[in-house]
Structure 1
Amino acid sequence: MQENAPDFGVILEVLAKHEVDYIVVGGVCAVLLGAPVTTFDLDIVHSRSARNIEHLNAALEELEASYREHLPRKMMPDAQALQNTGHHLLLTRYGPLDILGAIGDNDGYEQLIAHCEIINLGQERIIRILDLETLIHMKEKSARSKDQAMLNILRAMQTM
């Protein structure tokens, strides 16, 4: 499994290769919006359609993803689990990947898609990320100290 620094670019490439529909949220989203922060995992909210779950499972297999809390035993999420709104905290060959069925007030892919920006990472890698306003709104709802700490940085970005 992953032993070096995370390579989120490779994870995004594999998701694109398998045509997975998702939105980048969390720390990587903040970085892509220009926030000077460090993050150690890639958080995505995925479409829970049956077709997309098939694509996501194929990508997870290629990434050799397994639940972090079950290590060293390798246990992958199944299709039924991925159709729920829960969180799947995985470790891949390229770093931690958190797959979220919903965030905030149970907002899933379909609710968040209208609040996205499209980012071109080059080499035909086009991804969706939450817009700054929505990311701030989600962080405001969180009780986690790391989310609260990021709020000042994100709010400062609004005035730039």
Structure 2
Amino acid sequence: MAAVIHGAPITTFDLDTLVRVDQGNAQRLLQALSELDARYREHRTLLQPTQDDILAGGHMLLMTRAGPLDVLGFIGDGQRYENLKSASSEVDMNFGMLRVLNLDALIRQKKAMDRPKDRAVADLLEEVQRSRKEVR
């Protein structure tokens, strides 16, 4: 969603969220996931995430009543929430505030993921960045 917020002409089917991995946040996140009826997407049974899953700091690929949600403990080359918070800002999304990586940081992280789809998005974001500079 961050790429879309920055103006990249792409569609996305899930929401990726980088979370702070600590006890207090894990409890709040688990409550929110419970309210969304979150379940692991790739599990044959209806397995719900646990607080231990969140505290492990990995990736949880979930399905919720609102759609697919990827809860990530790190992105790119191992960057965690604490490392990237200063490279983000809050955006009002009409349903509440959402913290989004700035364009430079998002491009760096997409490149660091080194997957074809992320490289393609990084290229689109660089085009958005160039077009913004041309307008100025």
Instruction: Give the TM-score taking structure 2 as reference length.
Output: 0.91
What letter corresponds to residue 139 of structure 1 in structure 2? Answer: K
Per the TM alignment, residue 63 of structure 1 is displaced from its structure 2 partner at its CA by 0.4
- Which of 43, 52, 71 pairs up with 2:25? 52
Which residue in 1 is equivalent to 2:114? 143
Contact 1:46–1:99 (CA<8 Å) still a contact in 2? yes
Which residue in 1 is equivalent to 2:67? 95
Which residue in 1 is equivalent to 2:4? 31
1:70 aligns with 2:24: no
Q: How many Å separate the matches in 2 of 1:77 and 1:104?
A: 23
Deviations 1:56-111 (A, max 9, x none): 0011001000000114x111111111012210000001100000001122211111
Structure 1: gaps (5+ residues):
1-27
Which residue in 1 is equivalent to 2:58? 86
Number of matched pairs = 131
Q: How many Å separate the matches in 2 of 1:85 and 1:122?
A: 29
Instruction: Give the TM-score taking structure 1 as reference length.
Output: 0.78
What letter corresponds to residue 49 of structure 1 in structure 2? Answer: D
Structure 1 stretches of at least 4 aligned residues deviating more than 3 Å after TM superposition: none
Per the TM alignment, residue 50 of structure 1 is displaced from its structure 2 partner at its CA by 0.8
What letter corresponds to residue 17 of structure 2 in structure 1? Answer: I
Q: How many Å separate the matches in 2 of 1:151 and 1:109?
A: 20
Which residue in 2 is equivalent to 1:114? 86
Which residue in 2 is equivalent to 1:5? none
Give aligned-pair identity as a percent: 40
CA RMSD of aligned residues (A): 1.1
Deviations 1:120-158 (A, max 9, x none): 1125x1110111101100111122111111122100111
Per the TM alignment, residue 45 of structure 1 is displaced from its structure 2 partner at its CA by 0.6
Deviations 1:25-63 (A, max 9, x none): xxx010111111100100001111211111100110010
Counterpart of 1:122 in 2: which secondary structure?
A: coil
